[in-house]
Structure formats: C-alpha cells, structure tokens
A and B are shown apart, each in its own frame.
Chain A
C-alpha cells in the first residue's frame, strides 16, 4: 500500500518569508500528487497538483517540486501571508485506482 508522511507536524514562519512544506511517499508507482489547504471549519481546498512526468510546477505564489528518485515532494509558498495559516496536506495517487492517500497534515502558522 501507500503511505504518505509529512516531515514536521507544525511550521511557524514570519510574515513575508517563504515557507517550505515537505512530504514523503512510499510507492514508486505514484503518479499524481496534490497539495491541499484546510482552514478551520472548512473542507480541504485544492492548491496545486503535479504529475509524475514533471518535476516542478508553479502557481500563484506556490511552487510544487517533485523528486521521484527519493520519493519526495515539497510545497513552497512565497511571501507567506497571515491568510496562509492553515493545515496543509499532500495527497498521492498511484493510478491503480481512484483512491487518494493523504498525509497527516502540517499546521502552518504565520507570525505577524
């Protein structure tokens, strides 16, 4: 099966700094990766995704990096803002079925 883990349960950053959230996965057959953000009282919100044929993808203030060799992906948030405070999840799909496997989540706190 697949296991997905985030390296740290919490991350505290200064407003304006860049944030990096890391995630490791176990199944080398994983081919689709997603980052979600979950604010208190809400469902997970899609941030950015990447497929295994890419190693980098950029969105608005966010970048996802994928290193298939070491089975690691990261989410970089530029110029972190107070509104970025939330729990972040990485999710992985092996492609064998429609099931997403989620990491436990990391809580990002932004200090003013």
Chain B
C-alpha cells in the first residue's frame, strides 16, 4: 500500500502571501490530521478531518484552514503568511475518526521570507 503523500515537498513564499498544501492519505483511510512541526514548539496539532468534516481543531489562528474532499484527500491553506509560519507541515492519516494509529507523510517544508 502506498503511504501518505504530500505535495509539494518544499515551498518558499514571502510574507503576506497564501499557500495551499495537499495531502493524499493511505488508501482506505478516511481520517486526515495536520500538524505543524518547528524546532521551538515541536509537533503541534492543527486540525483533523473525517468524512469531509472538521472534527477537531488545535490552537492556531483563523489564517490556518483546511478541507477534505470526498476521496479523503485533504488540503490546508495558510493565508497572510508570517515569518513564524515557516515550519514542516505534516499530514497523518488513520482509518477512522478515532486516533488509532496515525501514519505520517514526509511533510511539506514551508519557508516564509
């Protein structure tokens, strides 16, 4: 089975721009979660989607949003980028809405200049 895929792998943006990241879960997995990873804060939960519905959201500003499509693929969007948004954005999928075992993709490295 193919693993979780994320595109793009690397992205460079400037302050004020917006960005969209994409995640394709493992086939058959219907739950997708997003995390932000930085050296200072570690791995922080952004949000989780299941059946196209956001089930839970972490403590991030409204500039961070996401969605899930009927094929379980998910996108996250960050608007009005700030320097502090530079991070590795990780997507994880699991079979159902409970955490169970989450399998992570390789991440998208976002650099904001």
| Size band of the interface chain B makes with A | 20 to 34
Measured in the bound complex, the distance between the Cα atoms of B107 and A98 in whole Å is 20
Interface size on A, residues (CB 8 A): 23
Cβ-defined contact, B58 with A102, below 8 A: no
Cβ-defined contact, A97 with B55, below 8 A: yes
Q: Interface centre among B31, B48, B98, B99, by most A CB within 10 Å? A: B99
Chain B residue with Cβ nearest A104: B42
Measured in the bound complex, the distance between the Cα atoms of B105 and A74 in whole Å is 25
User: If A44-B43, A105-B42 touch, does A99 touch B58 (CB 8 Å cutoff)?
Assistant: yes
Chain A residue with Cβ nearest B94: A98
Residues in chain A within 8 A of chain B (CB atoms): 32, 34, 36, 41-46, 49, 89, 91, 93, 95, 97-105
Chain A nearest CB: distance from B60 CB in Å? 12
User: If A43-B4, A43-B90, A44-B90 touch, does A101 touch B103 (CB 8 Å cutoff)?
Assistant: no
**Does B71 have its Cβ within 8 Å of any Cβ on chain A?**
no
Chain A residue with Cβ nearest B98: A98
Residues of chain A within 8 A (CB-CB) of B48 are 98-99
Cβ-defined contact, B99 with A46, below 8 A: no
